[in-house]
Chains A and B, each alone.
Chain A
Amino acid sequence: MVKPNELREGDVLLALEDVHMYFGRVGALAGVSLEVRKGEIHSIIGPNGAGKTVMMNCINGLYRPQKGNIYFKGQSILKLKPYERAKLGIARTFQKIEVFRGMTVLDNIRLGRHIHLKSGIISGSFYIGKAAREEVEHRAFIEEEIIDLLEIEHIRHRPVGMLPYGLQKRVELGRALALEPELLILDEPLAGLNLEEVEDMARFILDINEEERWKVTCILVEHDMGVVMDISDRVFVLNFGNKIIDGTPEAVQSHPEVIKAYLGVEDLYATRR
């Protein structure tokens, strides 16, 4: 198995190779290929029903494509179950918030760390002494770093269900981060947020991606074109299961087919205002 951090910036972290996905006779993905390089923010855009979420579900293992292959750090992960992929370092957030509403913010984030628990029930019960304490402290520290990063100190002990939507979105991001992932899939993290919350969230995504402490590669599925074009290194345009273009934001914005298909130059930024 490839050890983490062996890859350098710019190496291919995740690769989709000719991925086909059908639901009955409805084709959702018709031979999609994508390369996500380490250290970048790679956005996936496209109209509703283009197959963006299906693509994400294929990557983190909720769906199994009928044809094609998916490689993470050079290794095929097609046969792995979602939790096994999570262990490899793939985390995601969902379009609709999937948090434990009755639990506190801290507990939700803590839950994200359970895969880093290595001991079983028996050994865990007897896991005492200095080493254990150190590990507990270390783990607690990461949780607090996340709380600090996302600026949610004041709601640390509040049940998530009581919080406004924008803060719940942050908590979900926090839980995904607690995995200390190498690849983070963000499925519409900005949907339903107000202007200020959008700006905050965009800042957090940039922090997670660029800050020396985290350096997480991100796949961003998003409709807010203003933010997508501002913060992405590359943009992948999907339409009815087919790739239109995969390139820099500038290239995508000037691509005739993208403009013709559904965007329109002025409209690129229109969604943000």
Chain B
Amino acid sequence: MEITKDLTIPKLFYERARRYGKKVAMREKEFGIWRPITWHDYLENVKYLALGLISLGLKEGDKVAMIGDNRPEGLWAEMATLCARGVGVWLFQDCLMEEVKYIVDHSDTKFLFGEGQEEVDKAISIFDECPKLEKVIWDDPKGMRNYHQDYLISFKEVQRLGRELEKKEPGLFEAMINKGHGDEVALLFYTSGTTGLPKGALLSHYNMLTMGKNLMAVDPCFETDDFVSYLPFAWIGEQMMAISCGLHVGFTINFPEEPETAQENIREIGPHVMFAPPRLYEQMTRTVQVKYLDASWIKRKVYALATKIGYHVADLEFQKKPVPWYWRCLQWLAYISMQKKLKDHLGLSNIRNAYTGGAAMGPDHFRFFHALGVNLKQIYGQTEISGISVVHRSGDIKFDTVGIPIPETEVKITEDGEIISKSPSVFLGYYKNPEATAQTLRDGWLYSGDKGFIDEDGHLVVFDRSKDVMTLTDGRLFSPQYLETRLKFSPYLKDAWVIGDKRDYVTAVTCIDYSVVGKWADEKKLTYTSYPELSQKPEVYDLVERQIRQANKDLPEVARVRKFVNLYKEFDPDDDELTRTRKLRRAFVEKRYHEIVDALYSDADVVHVDTTITYEDGRKIHIKTDLHIRKVSGH
């Protein structure tokens, strides 16, 4: 399909909806059943919602923010905004009040779509401080019976207004869509920067559509495919699949019943394509590893044998060597005895392409999925390039690279090693921030701030964020992310933070996985009452030390982790330690935990900590504790 500058997302949407009519566009699990919604229903809902927004006073270029779990109404709201020529702004569901306030205010949001009571409560508490916000729209009536603020309006009521407008001005909806142009702003994305305040990236219709087209040119999807939408729409990756690729191909989008049931619902649907940040794959790996520890000895034997075969075949394929017929036979045995079942449990049975992106993924996880026969590929890109510029090709996967550029995309390395790229999907600029725009966008090239190089096969290797690259004692450059992903391959470690830039040796701050280590402790008959207590048990330190020694194995002497400390809590986006997409905000944690860092580089074996923790509901508690510092033996 040709993407012209004239085409917009609403135009494509309208065309698709007319073409597919009775075909199922999306499904939502509700009251325990998958409820189908046809393209016709999709169009009707979007149409009246869009007209309703217009009759409430939405003008061209006005911002409409959305917050809530993934559900059809969320997607309708976004599509209706675009049809009414507004600009969509998605917020992360778990955003704290200040973040919501900042984004709503900075983006000049006029209307806010919230799902239900929880979101409406957030909106009410910021309403007075956001003078440009006019209406708050909700769709889930649960708990809403006692809310009577006049700026609150229900989704149904907006659609009713839309129907009235339709009677008065038939054809307005179609006329609005026809007026649109591809260069107009479609979405405003607040990037969860690892430093400073979030910046709003402006993406045009043309950006979004070309991105979808170019990804689909690499890995085509089909109308009959299923996709499960459960990651935040505020993440560009979810927009990539649900909007750009979804409209291009017309596959069915499935919404889980509740966030808690997502894994189960994925299994029921068996999607053909998925795109998720590494932490989800890390979670899957951990689940498998933990279940393995629980299984009977015969199952463990079968699993061990089958993975051995899987790893061997995957490694042959990684090296692009032919797989001999007897290995193919063995692989088939591994498939029927273990892989088939395991893939089914993970909801990966039908997967043709699984993508990961947004953060670094360790080679161990990568090999793990390929050994299972899952075609996992790395995507590299920024929100500023509509999410993707580089991806692996089937049959040409190297687990230490992120692949080669998608069509119409150029990637270059500057003299000082920065990755820059150019494509029709490069964004328009940052909203109300010309300095940042000028810094990132030079002569049409997008400056990523990532360091990397292009290898002999033309694959892009992303080293790390420029400012994160470590210089070791021998002058060698090293990526802390690489070490962290290695550590995270252990099921017992949920997060790790590696330190060592211009220091005498490398150290790590580790966060144990509460449920996995907790279970391990139960079996060892260790008593504990809380995460802080469990993390400080000497036995747990022994366990973590073993994991670190394992990860240290193939590393050069200077890059090995020498000392570590178990943190008394997990890293959390609510404490600003991680971004909403769960990337470590290094500068921030370094400041916050400077006492721990200092202690790691002194002779102390205990560090005293005195700090506050913020809970999800905004409550704060004070923590005073002593953390032990452990030397990794063998050094």
On chain A, the residues within 8 Å of B145 by CB distance are 210-212
Q: Are B143 and A203 in contact (CB under 8 A)?
A: yes
**Tally of B interface residues using CB under 8 Å:** 13
On chain B, the residues within 8 Å of A154 by CB distance are 258, 260-261, 264
Please tell me which one of the listed residues B142, B146, B257 contacts residue A153 in the complex, with CB atoms under 8 A apart: B257
Q: Are B258 and A151 in contact (CB under 8 A)?
A: yes
Enumerate B1-37 residues with CB–CB distance to A below 8 Å: 30-33
- A156 and B32 in contact, given A210-B145, A211-B145 (Cβ under 8 angstroms): yes
Residue interface mask B242-258, A partner, CB < 8 A = 1: 00000000000000011
CA distance A151 to B143 in the complex (A): 13
CA distance A256 to B30 in the complex (A): 51
On chain B, the residues within 8 Å of A203 by CB distance are 143
Residue interface mask A138-177, B partner, CB < 8 A = 1: 0011001101110101101000000000000000000000
Identity of the chain B residue whose Cβ is nearest the Cβ of A156 in the assembled complex: B32
On chain B, the residues within 8 Å of A156 by CB distance are 32
Interface membership of A35, Cβ < 8 A: no
Q: Are A153 and B143 in contact (CB under 8 A)?
A: no
Output the least CB separation between A38 and chain B (Å).
Answer: 18
Output the least CB separation between B433 and chain A (Å).
Answer: 39
Interface membership of A207, Cβ < 8 A: yes
Residue interface mask A109-120, B partner, CB < 8 A = 1: 000000000000
Output the least CB separation between B68 and chain A (Å).
Answer: 15
Q: List 6 A-B contacts (CB under 8 A).
A: A141-B31, A144-B33, A148-B30, A154-B260, A207-B143, A210-B145
On chain B, the residues within 8 Å of A149 by CB distance are 142
Identity of the chain B residue whose Cβ is nearest the Cβ of A151 in the assembled complex: B258
Q: Are B260 and A144 in contact (CB under 8 A)?
A: no
Output the least CB separation between B121 and chain A (Å).
Answer: 12
CA distance A144 to B258 in the complex (A): 13
Output the least CB separation between A84 and chain B (Å).
Answer: 31
Q: Are A144 and B264 in contact (CB under 8 A)?
A: no
Output the least CB separation between B94 and chain A (Å).
Answer: 16
Binding site for B on A (CB under 8 A): 140-141, 144-145, 147-149, 151, 153-154, 156, 203, 207, 210-212
On chain A, the residues within 8 Å of B33 by CB distance are 144
Output the least CB separation between B146 and chain A (Å).
Answer: 8
Output the least CB separation between A95 and chain B (Å).
Answer: 27
Identity of the chain B residue whose Cβ is nearest the Cβ of A199 in the assembled complex: B617
Please tell me which one of the listed residues B32, B142, B146, B264 contacts residue A147 in the complex, with CB atoms under 8 A apart: B32
CA distance A264 to B142 in the complex (A): 36
On chain A, the residues within 8 Å of B31 by CB distance are 141, 144-145, 147-148
On chain B, the residues within 8 Å of A141 by CB distance are 31
CA distance A145 to B142 in the complex (A): 12
On chain B, the residues within 8 Å of A148 by CB distance are 30-31
Identity of the chain B residue whose Cβ is nearest the Cβ of A141 in the assembled complex: B31
State the 9 A-B residue pairs at the shortest beta-carbon distance, nearest first: A144-B31, A154-B260, A144-B32, A153-B258, A154-B261, A153-B257, A153-B261, A210-B145, A148-B31
Enumerate B250-281 residues with CB–CB distance to A below 8 Å: 257-258, 260-261, 264
Identity of the chain A residue whose Cβ is nearest the Cβ of B117 in the assembled complex: A203
On chain B, the residues within 8 Å of A147 by CB distance are 31-32
Identity of the chain A residue whose Cβ is nearest the Cβ of B262 in the assembled complex: A154
CA distance A149 to B33 in the complex (A): 16
Q: Which of B30, B31, B33, B145 has the most CB of A within 10 A?
A: B31
CA distance A25 to B260 in the complex (A): 54
CA distance A154 to B143 in the complex (A): 20
On chain B, the residues within 8 Å of A140 by CB distance are 32
CA distance A14 to B264 in the complex (A): 44
CA distance A151 to B260 in the complex (A): 10
Output the least CB separation between A208 and chain B (Å).
Answer: 12
Identity of the chain A residue whose Cβ is nearest the Cβ of B264 in the assembled complex: A154
CA distance A144 to B112 in the complex (A): 30
On chain B, the residues within 8 Å of A212 by CB distance are 145
Output the least CB separation between B514 and chain A (Å).
Answer: 15
9 other contacts beyond A145-B31, A203-B143, A210-B145, with CB at 8 A cut-off?
A140-B32, A147-B31, A149-B142, A153-B32, A153-B260, A154-B258, A154-B260, A154-B261, A154-B264
CA distance A79 to B264 in the complex (A): 49
CA distance A96 to B308 in the complex (A): 51
Identity of the chain A residue whose Cβ is nearest the Cβ of B615 in the assembled complex: A196
Identity of the chain A residue whose Cβ is nearest the Cβ of B616 in the assembled complex: A196
On chain B, the residues within 8 Å of A211 by CB distance are 142, 145
Output the least CB separation between B441 and chain A (Å).
Answer: 44
Output the least CB separation between A231 and chain B (Å).
Answer: 12
Output the least CB separation between B613 and chain A (Å).
Answer: 16
Output the least CB separation between B198 and chain A (Å).
Answer: 29
On chain A, the residues within 8 Å of B260 by CB distance are 153-154
On chain B, the residues within 8 Å of A145 by CB distance are 31
Identity of the chain B residue whose Cβ is nearest the Cβ of A196 in the assembled complex: B617
CA distance A207 to B264 in the complex (A): 28
Output the least CB separation between B586 and chain A (Å).
Answer: 32
CA distance A154 to B257 in the complex (A): 9
Identity of the chain A residue whose Cβ is nearest the Cβ of B33 in the assembled complex: A144
CA distance A154 to B265 in the complex (A): 10
On chain A, the residues within 8 Å of B258 by CB distance are 151, 153-154
CA distance A134 to B258 in the complex (A): 27
Output the least CB separation between A233 and chain B (Å).
Answer: 14
Residue interface mask B275-297, A partner, CB < 8 A = 1: 00000000000000000000000
On chain B, the residues within 8 Å of A144 by CB distance are 31-33
On chain A, the residues within 8 Å of B143 by CB distance are 203, 207
Output the least CB separation between A98 and chain B (Å).
Answer: 25
On chain B, the residues within 8 Å of A210 by CB distance are 145-146
CA distance A85 to B459 in the complex (A): 75
CA distance A151 to B140 in the complex (A): 14
CA distance A87 to B30 in the complex (A): 29
Output the least CB separation between A120 and chain B (Å).
Answer: 28
Output the least CB separation between B268 and chain A (Å).
Answer: 12
Residue interface mask B111-146, A partner, CB < 8 A = 1: 000000000000000000000000000000011011
Q: Which of A141, A153, A156 has the most CB of B within 10 A?
A: A153
CA distance A153 to B31 in the complex (A): 8
Output the least CB separation between B105 and chain A (Å).
Answer: 29
Identity of the chain A residue whose Cβ is nearest the Cβ of B256 in the assembled complex: A153
On chain A, the residues within 8 Å of B30 by CB distance are 148
CA distance A239 to B30 in the complex (A): 47
Output the least CB separation between A2 and chain B (Å).
Answer: 28
CA distance A210 to B142 in the complex (A): 11
CA distance A147 to B257 in the complex (A): 11
CA distance A154 to B29 in the complex (A): 12
On chain B, the residues within 8 Å of A207 by CB distance are 142-143
Output the least CB separation between A133 and chain B (Å).
Answer: 14
Output the least CB separation between B257 and chain A (Å).
Answer: 5
Output the least CB separation between A165 and chain B (Å).
Answer: 16
On chain B, the residues within 8 Å of A151 by CB distance are 258
